Structure 1
């Protein structure tokens, strides 16, 4: 019997994951907010479902989304969100609906949950969020792991790059504040997808994992280089008062060992494309 899986929030990352999951034999469903976008998923062999986190949900709609072997929950809050309590409430309500199913849940979270911790950060480091997004993701993570402790896993991502997506594009030509000596924590979409596949195929539930490239260059050096490679105007950086402060260094060695993975993109210098 085919393994059924829903990408709840099948945006940029989910659409790049379609082909790898289909190649492994998964039967896929995906949600988008607009019908036209859901139709595009259907054109790629995915059962497209219209779904908005903050709209009223119907029972048949929830059944189509949740009545699967695995749910990959990847609904970002959006950059302009102001009502964080609403986001938390609706995400937790969606998780609650999984109680009456046998569905396994993989929640795509963020390393923003570690806040401003300095130095090496492992999967066992405490959550110390300082941003509204980080705080919201911690609340959702805690609710998920309390509600479905043996059939859910959290995967925290550092800065996400991939085809036609690189943070250097938004920094090009800008004056960038903060410490230029802070290290870069990036992860390529191809490695995220390989990790998601490993979690689902190995049934690795009940854990909190995170991902970042294993090399962490200084951000002033890296983004200057990246803009040069892209042929874009260079950013400028402040001279930091404490140039020795390196910020967070996301170490994902435990995750890689647990999933028996080697990164395809271990250095940010391979992520330009």
Structure 2
């Protein structure tokens, strides 16, 4: 029986354990990195390694096999203060894919594309075209209806889990705003399982919000996150009177479409 094949562009904090999970499922996994030193690590984990840089992407002979698989997972988040470089990177990727055999793409995006709202945020909610312009442009490029592949976009909430503690950078800070605002997080293990379910169930041409069920307040969550790390607790401004727009991400479509039950439905209990 021929091994199932999949390519993962970007084997970083999420991409590497995702690649390992697919290897355990019997896939032949092709994984990319921009770092030459990481090629050996990928090979040791039974991931076929490629060094691919989207800024200067060319279909070199040594990279051709990476794009010869039917399914591609794009896990290259934009860097902060990158200007318009990220959209150009995804445009370069699009041009390479037009000369490839890829038929199905999963594009890892973020719930940062949404504007705050007074109601729960769904996949149909208003998008933040000012502050998330670059990411939305990248989504539009990779999911263009004229492309000869089908794209599913996953908009992940704040990612946490192994090696990424959400309380680290906020511990000890003072007078933080919006103590009662809900937080939106998702654990690494759920991210991996959701991507695997999309591939397994062949849910293409979709957009999913991926966020844990529960949304504790910023004050409750970050105070507990700091305590777990044995760091000084942050302090918050006094609660403001009156409701204002905020982000409370709904995962209802994902749960109903994939019949998915979260491993870590409450991020507070997963710290």
Shifted more, 173-182 versus 258-267: the winner is 173-182
Q: TM-score, normalised by structure 1?
A: 0.91
Runs of 4+ with deviation above 3 angstroms: 147-150, 240-246
1:86 — aligned with what?
85
Cα offset, 1:88, TM superposition? 0.3
Distance in 2 (CA, whole Å) between partners of 1:205 and 1:246 is 32
8 Å Cα contact 1:150/1:205 also seen in 2 = no
2:233 — aligned with what?
234
1:118 — aligned with what?
118
Residues 21, 212 of structure 1: alpha-carbon distance in 2 compared, 3 angstrom cutoff: same
In the alignment, structure 1 segments of 5+ residues that lack a partner are: none
Distance in 2 (CA, whole Å) between partners of 1:42 and 1:176 is 47
Distance in 1 (CA, whole Å) between partners of 2:178 and 2:3 is 50
Distance in 1 (CA, whole Å) between partners of 2:162 and 2:242 is 32
Residue 73 of structure 2 is aligned to residue 72 of structure 1: yes
Cα offset, 1:58, TM superposition? 4.0
2:26 — aligned with what?
25
1:205 — aligned with what?
204
Shifted more, 206-215 versus 243-252: the winner is 243-252
SS at structure 2 position matched to 1:168 = coil
Q: TM-score, normalised by structure 2?
A: 0.92
Cα offset, 1:237, TM superposition? 1.4
In the alignment, structure 2 segments of 5+ residues that lack a partner are: none
Cα offset, 1:243, TM superposition? 5.9
Q: 1:151-197, CA deviations, whole angstroms, 9 ceiling, x for partnerless residues?
A: 11000000001112122111111226331111000000111111100
SS at structure 2 position matched to 1:250 = coil
Higher helix proportion, which one? 1
May I ask how many residue pairs the two structures share in their alignment? 268
Distance in 1 (CA, whole Å) between partners of 2:119 and 2:263 is 24
